[in-house]
Chain A
Amino acid sequence: MRKPRDLSLSGKIGAYGILSVFTIFAIYPILRVLTISLRPGDRLLSKSLAIIPPHATLQTYVKLFTQEPFLRWMFNSLIISAAVMLVGVGLAATAGYAFSRYRFRGKSVAMFALITTQMFPLTMLLLPLFIMLIKLKLYDSYVGLIIAYSATALPFTTWQMKGYYDTIPFSLEEAASIDGSSQVGTFWRIVLPLAAPALVITALFSFMTAWSEYLVAAVLIQDQNLFTLPLGLKTFQSAMETSWGLYSAGAIMVSLPVVILFLFLSRWLISGLTLGSVKG
């Protein structure tokens, strides 16, 4: 008998056809940016649709790194993103665990509050945050942005961690505590290693929140030395005309690390994200 996941030959051809069409849709814009970034400086405004441009060159990339403060922006973004990732993973891993394993006063209110924050329009928090950070003298600083990003990433990652912990059988922890392990020790040595896929996804999301965010940074950072990558790249577009070459080369350099991470983690992405909701 045919297995449920098998396809007939015509079904296979159809499936590959459909996948190819959507894949072209998915990667075309990325290829397009790559193309523009490889164009020689005098042909940026071209009507050509060729993927590899004639006289392809890396000169725009050289210019990006040597004549623009691109490395500075990248350094700022790296520091902020790494800090957000550390804070985000630490807080979501502990809070998610408490939500999964304990029953305590205020739990359901707290969990509902976490979802509710997803409904806040960002603009609602931005103005008060702006005033508050000025008063705390944290305006124009790494710390201000790190706190803001950590909090925006937390609700989603905490829920996601909770969902994943829910799938880890409690009997493992019981066995450990019978063997004399403390509660904290059990969490650290048994639960956390088992939750590795979810931790990796949480780290990825926290990092990306900070790496990719434009609006909050635009409001909270004014000092050009503290510009993050999004603010920097936007300057290529803010003049009277867009420097498409520099913008495209920058966009490729910014997307590359994230894309590579996604490629490495795409297998875990599916289990890390959905296992909780499926078995919960």
Chain B
Amino acid sequence: MASGVGNIRNNRLAYLYTMPAFIVMGIVVIYPFLYNIVLSFSNMNLTHFYDWRLTGPQNYVKVFQERTFWYFFFKTILWTVINVFFHVTIGVFLALILNKDLKAKSFFRTLLILPWAVPQYITALTWRGMFNSEYGAISLIIHKIFGVQIPWLTTEWGAFTACVVTNVWLGFPFMMVIALGGLQSIPDELYEAAEIDGASWRHKLKNITIPLLKPVMIPAITLGIIWTFNNFNIVWLVSNGGEPADTTHILVSWVYKSGFRYFRMGYAAAFSMIIFLILLIFSWNFIKKSKATETVY
């Protein structure tokens, strides 16, 4: 850690360097955050848009009373676990291959990064088109091979699967790049020494690669979980706002619909706070746990 250099220097410059960033963050992130807390205790909705007042914690009570919260909570967990699992396994798997001496590896690496480069909303709208039951490429291919029509976008779990496939496509390059960076920093000598000792590839993977990759991957996975949990774009645009009949939502897309389509602002504000608290508690524990395992090595 480079933090040892601290104290010697005066602090005034440090504040000067951080101030501009925090002023912008203050205006756009911290102030709205505080405002949102106030709104979450208010009765703001379409009929009380201007004459809203504080009404107490009733919005929070409402969130937990409604069945939708638990339903979408379950879906969000499922969505996050499946996505991050595929992102990490595909990403690390490809990185392991790309880390070998292959002639064409920079060619493949470049092409494999492309899904990351395509803007998210284009990814979503394009895949939505590919899942179209009549003219979509995926439906056509599956029909050609298996002779069946799958109602992707018109059934609850069909639409959920479509969103997952889209998001897996979108997310694996990030994990691949991070894993590749981590792998490149592991010195070859470690593997050479292991080979002299007659270690199998399985041993090398378990005793060298995974432990040394872990400190690089843990922060990336934490971020990945948070981003996936809050990934509004894919779900909203692939399922066209939760179709069919508001069944294909994760928590964030449901909040957006409540706030900006059904105009239940107070309720949406309270709901947002709950999502935030879930993530905060999760990350807090996750970071603490991963720090604890780090000291073992």
Binding site for B on A (CB under 8 A): 1-7, 11-12, 15-16, 18-19, 22-23, 25-30, 32-33, 36, 45-47, 49, 87, 90-92, 94-95, 97-105, 107, 110, 113-129, 131-132, 147-148, 150-152, 154-155, 158, 165-167, 170, 183-184, 208, 211-212, 214-215, 219, 230, 233-234, 237, 242, 244, 247, 251, 254-255, 258-259, 261-263, 266-267, 269-271, 273-275, 277-280
**Is B137 in contact with chain A by the CB < 8 A criterion?**
yes
Residue of A nearest to B184 (CB): A270
Asked if A251 and B122 make an inter-chain contact with CB atoms under 8 angstroms apart, the answer reads yes
Asked if B188 and A271 make an inter-chain contact with CB atoms under 8 angstroms apart, the answer reads no
Asked if B29 and A94 make an inter-chain contact with CB atoms under 8 angstroms apart, the answer reads no
Count how many chain B residues have C-beta atoms less than 8 Å from C-beta atoms of the other chain: 107
Query: Known contacts A19-B94, A114-B25, A212-B121; can you find 8 more A-B pairs with CB under 8 A?
Result: A11-B100, A26-B111, A49-B140, A101-B14, A120-B272, A121-B255, A128-B36, A277-B219
Q: Considering the chains assembled together, what is the distance between the CA atoms of A262 and B113 in angstroms?
A: 8
9 contacts between A and B (CB under 8 A): A6-B100, A18-B93, A26-B115, A32-B137, A183-B13, A211-B119, A215-B236, A259-B117, A261-B117
Asked if B113 and A102 make an inter-chain contact with CB atoms under 8 angstroms apart, the answer reads no
* Residue with the highest number of chain B CB atoms closer than 10 Å, among A90, A119, A269: A119
Asked if B100 and A269 make an inter-chain contact with CB atoms under 8 angstroms apart, the answer reads no
Asked if B25 and A127 make an inter-chain contact with CB atoms under 8 angstroms apart, the answer reads no
Cβ-Cβ contact count across A and B, 8 Å cutoff: 305
**Given A18-B97, A19-B108, A151-B24: A122 and B6 within 8 A (CB)?**
no
**Is B177 in contact with chain A by the CB < 8 A criterion?**
yes
Q: Considering the chains assembled together, what is the distance between the CA atoms of A123 and B32 in angstroms?
A: 11
Asked if A270 and B181 make an inter-chain contact with CB atoms under 8 angstroms apart, the answer reads yes
Proximity string of chain B (266-284) to chain A, C-beta cutoff 8 Å, 1 when within and 0 when not: 0011001101100110010
Which residues does chain A contribute within 8 Å of B137, judged by CB atoms?
28, 32, 49
Asked if B108 and A271 make an inter-chain contact with CB atoms under 8 angstroms apart, the answer reads no
**Is B297 in contact with chain A by the CB < 8 A criterion?**
no
| Candidates B32, B125, B185, B232; contact of A128 at CB < 8 Å | B32
**Is B259 in contact with chain A by the CB < 8 A criterion?**
yes
Proximity string of chain B (89-125) to chain A, C-beta cutoff 8 Å, 1 when within and 0 when not: 0100110011111101010111111111111111101
| Candidates B35, B104, B121, B255; contact of A234 at CB < 8 Å | B121
| Candidates B1, B121, B182; contact of A278 at CB < 8 Å | B182
Asked if A121 and B226 make an inter-chain contact with CB atoms under 8 angstroms apart, the answer reads no
Q: Considering the chains assembled together, what is the distance between the CA atoms of A262 and B178 in angstroms?
A: 15
- A interface majority secondary structure: helix
Asked if B20 and A255 make an inter-chain contact with CB atoms under 8 angstroms apart, the answer reads no
In B202-224, which residues have CB < 8 Å from any A CB? 215-216, 219-220, 223
Asked if A270 and B22 make an inter-chain contact with CB atoms under 8 angstroms apart, the answer reads no
Q: Considering the chains assembled together, what is the distance between the CA atoms of A103 and B126 in angstroms?
A: 48
Binding site for A on B (CB under 8 A): 1-3, 5-7, 9, 11, 13-15, 17-18, 20-22, 24-25, 27-33, 35-36, 39, 90, 93-94, 97-102, 104, 106, 108-123, 125-127, 129-130, 134-135, 137, 140-141, 144, 169, 173, 177-178, 180-182, 184-185, 188, 191-192, 195, 215-216, 219-220, 223, 226-227, 230, 232-233, 236-237, 251-252, 255-256, 259-260, 265, 268-269, 272-273, 275-276, 279-280, 283
Asked if A27 and B111 make an inter-chain contact with CB atoms under 8 angstroms apart, the answer reads yes
Give, as a whole number of angstroms, the nearest-CB distance from A5 to chain B.
Answer: 4
Which residues does chain B contribute within 8 Å of A208, judged by CB atoms?
119
Q: Considering the chains assembled together, what is the distance between the CA atoms of A29 and B169 in angstroms?
A: 10
**Given A247-B125, A277-B219: A5 and B24 within 8 A (CB)?**
no
Which residues does chain B contribute within 8 Å of A115, judged by CB atoms?
283
Q: Considering the chains assembled together, what is the distance between the CA atoms of A167 and B192 in angstroms?
A: 26
Q: Considering the chains assembled together, what is the distance between the CA atoms of A155 and B21 in angstroms?
A: 9
Q: Considering the chains assembled together, what is the distance between the CA atoms of A87 and B24 in angstroms?
A: 10
Give, as a whole number of angstroms, the nearest-CB distance from A122 to chain B.
Answer: 6
Give, as a whole number of angstroms, the nearest-CB distance from A167 to chain B.
Answer: 8
Which residues does chain B contribute within 8 Å of A154, judged by CB atoms?
21, 24-25
Q: Considering the chains assembled together, what is the distance between the CA atoms of A251 and B121 in angstroms?
A: 10
